[in-house]
Chains A and B, each alone.
Chain A
Amino acid sequence: MLSELCEFVDEIVVVDDASTDRTPELVLRCPKVVKLVQSPEPLFAQEWKLRSLLWETAVSTDPDWLLSVDADELYEAKARRSMRTLIDQDRYDWVAFRFFDLWGGTTHYREDELWNIHRRHQMTLVRYMPLLPCPYPKLHHHLPRIPPAYHALPGLLSELRVKHLGWAGDWADRVRKYRRYKANDPEGRFGSLDHYESILDPEPNLIPWREDAE
């Protein structure tokens, strides 16, 4: 993922949420990583702290534009080629993309009543505005990844796509995730219980993923 990012970004800032594997070491090998911040304890359950830390770290580099990327997201080739054009203008201050849940591999995405995130747009690319007040609401879950104030600015809803690989693993991987969600949120306070159960659907509706031709 980092190597693909390096194709179209100038600098990379990483916040490591107390990982226990070799992630930090691997990250620092990337030549475009200019900052790595390691949280001493997991902030997963305090999302606003994690988002605030990431935002403050990123803006400390005084960027022109910011792209918010999770570790399991890949921008399609067309999006990578378009990135410079998207930021080289003065009509809009953010860009939203369509995210697709790749399922059980990288050849198909899932689409059904509970799995349809690609029908909406997510804002991940923003023009940095130092004077725009940008506090995150103090919520522990379901925070937007960009500060809410940016939603007030004019933006572009693009049809460019991002592959979310969080569900692209095998069956065993999905079972592990299912068990973790059920353990952390047995009553469905932070997410839908139906959604959790659907992780184990034996025959989900899958649609072939087609990359646009070069």
Chain B
Amino acid sequence: MEIVIYPDGPWSSYPFARLAMLLASVGTVHYVTERSDERLPAPILPVSRQEIREAGTPLLTIVSHPYWTYEASSLARGPLVALLPDFPNDRGALIRRCVKELSAAADLLCTASESFFLEQAFRRDAVLLLSGADPDAAGTVQVQGIDLEVRDYEALFLRAVRSLIDTSPPSAGWATHLQLHLRIPFYEELRRTLGPHETVSFLLGSYEYLTGRLDDAEAHVAEAFHQACLNRSPGSLASHFRFLSAIAARKGDLEGALTIYGISAVTDSERADYSVLLQWANQGRFALALSGLYRLNDDSRNALAQLRTPESDIEEVRRIEFQLLTESARWDEACSLLSPSMRQTSEQRRIADLANGFRCRLRGQRHEAISWFLRAAETDSNALAHILEIKAIDDELSGLTGSPALGLTEESEDDAPLEPRLPAGSQADGQQADRDAPGSE
């Protein structure tokens, strides 16, 4: 197995150098660099971006900087792993968007930031925290004939990577499930040491929620809220109390969940959301109400799961599911839902055009992406910024590797752009009627 690492800079400052060395027990590790003075330790091998394009062998792709998202995902010929250092929110909108898109595209997302780990655990499978409570060795791996001791999260990372390689489609969700369970004793002990705590109790409750221990989750989140109130922490209704509505929903108490959310709805937009939820519940559209509740609690996994129940109204569900998927930067899935009814207003067309543009950009189809962004710009000039972003990312990548951008990715005949679903023989917006879109009749 050939493994390629798209790094965040030179090897000397690579934050995951140890994991890269351990990956040598899985396959041949290549480090993307154009620097003539790059010094890589054996068995890590240098590789250029051009060489990756020309290689035909299966790859495990490791991405360590979000600006690599589009190039790496378009060239990936196997599982894609995001190995991300912490990117603070103040790094700018472009990098935040790239982080989001990489997080959605990756088959396995690994991070050293626990807050990011938890945030992603509410959205997806296969996310790992590169940190462990046990400082002792959990085992050994052999690299170049030498036995290296590995910690618990390192062993889990390696097993998850092997699992991606060995399964089709790539799957490592079991690793997340295991790690979520392993975090609970850690926080239980911390809570025993510190006593009830607005952060520790809340984190413990979060892990219990994610692992289905709902009664425990309810008790600890309520405890965390109480501590936040005693500390007069601002915003505790939204940051702590509201989560009890998701727990109530998971326990099957929709009425209680709505009441709790209603208590926490303070701003005009929150109250408007609450009104919508109540309306759905009163109409007997419980799946929509539950989906909305989960979404308002940033639990997009359960929000999407609710939309795939038989009782859901098809058209409205498709629109809501599209919105959820675009919020999560899952462009392929989002665009597959587009239908003529979702392109009626200029705002709907703008959103659909942007979604297609992001989807093409992620596939490396630059020309198509620019075309979609230009269409969106007909009603929203801000869409032009996404075209400029392509160039901005090229420039940033030059800095990461010390090389100029590769330029456009060639499109293959199999990569036909996804068109909105149209009835057979019809035309819209100048598109060719005989161009087949996936799933069209």
Residues A148 and B263 in contact in the complex (CB < 8 Å), given A131-B256, A153-B237? no
Q: Of B226, B228, B241, which is within 8 A of A135 by CB? A: B226
What residues of chain B lie closer than 8 Å to A148, measured between beta carbons? Answer: 226, 229-230
What residues of chain B lie closer than 8 Å to A154, measured between beta carbons? Answer: 266
User: Closest A-chain residue to B266, C-beta based?
Assistant: A154
CB distance from A162 to the nearest CB of B (A): 23
Q: Does B113 contact A (CB under 8 A)?
A: no
User: Closest A-chain residue to B271, C-beta based?
Assistant: A90
What residues of chain B lie closer than 8 Å to A131, measured between beta carbons? Answer: 244, 256, 259-260, 263
What residues of chain B lie closer than 8 Å to A133, measured between beta carbons? Answer: 222, 225-226
User: Closest B-chain residue to A151, C-beta based?
Assistant: B229
Q: Does A213 contact B (CB under 8 A)?
A: no
A44–B216 alpha-carbon span in the complex (Å): 34
Chain A interfacial residues counted at CB < 8 A: 13
A-B pair number, CB within 8 angstroms: 33
Asked whether B230 lies within 8 Å of A129 as measured between CB atoms, the reply is no
Main secondary structure of the interface of B (DSSP, over half): helix
What residues of chain A lie closer than 8 Å to B266, measured between beta carbons? Answer: 153-154
Q: Does B192 contact A (CB under 8 A)?
A: no
Main secondary structure of the interface of A (DSSP, over half): loop
User: Closest A-chain residue to B253, C-beta based?
Assistant: A131
Asked whether A149 lies within 8 Å of B229 as measured between CB atoms, the reply is yes
What residues of chain A lie closer than 8 Å to B230, measured between beta carbons? Answer: 137, 148
Q: Does B236 contact A (CB under 8 A)?
A: yes
CB distance from A207 to the nearest CB of B (A): 31
Which residues of A, 110-164, contact B by the 8 Å Cβ criterion? 129, 131-133, 135, 137, 148-149, 151-154
Which residues of B, 264-285, contact A by the 8 Å Cβ criterion? 266
Q: Does B232 contact A (CB under 8 A)?
A: yes
A154–B267 alpha-carbon span in the complex (Å): 10
What residues of chain A lie closer than 8 Å to B226, measured between beta carbons? Answer: 133, 135, 148-149
A129–B230 alpha-carbon span in the complex (Å): 18
Q: Of B228, B229, B263, which is within 8 A of A129 by CB? A: B263
What residues of chain B lie closer than 8 Å to A137, measured between beta carbons? Answer: 230
User: Closest A-chain residue to B219, C-beta based?
Assistant: A133
What residues of chain B lie closer than 8 Å to A153, measured between beta carbons? Answer: 237, 263, 266
CB distance from A156 to the nearest CB of B (A): 13
Q: Chain B 326-341, CB within 8 Å of chain A: the 1/0 string?
A: 0000000000000000
A interface residue numbers (CB < 8 A to B): 93, 129, 131-133, 135, 137, 148-149, 151-154
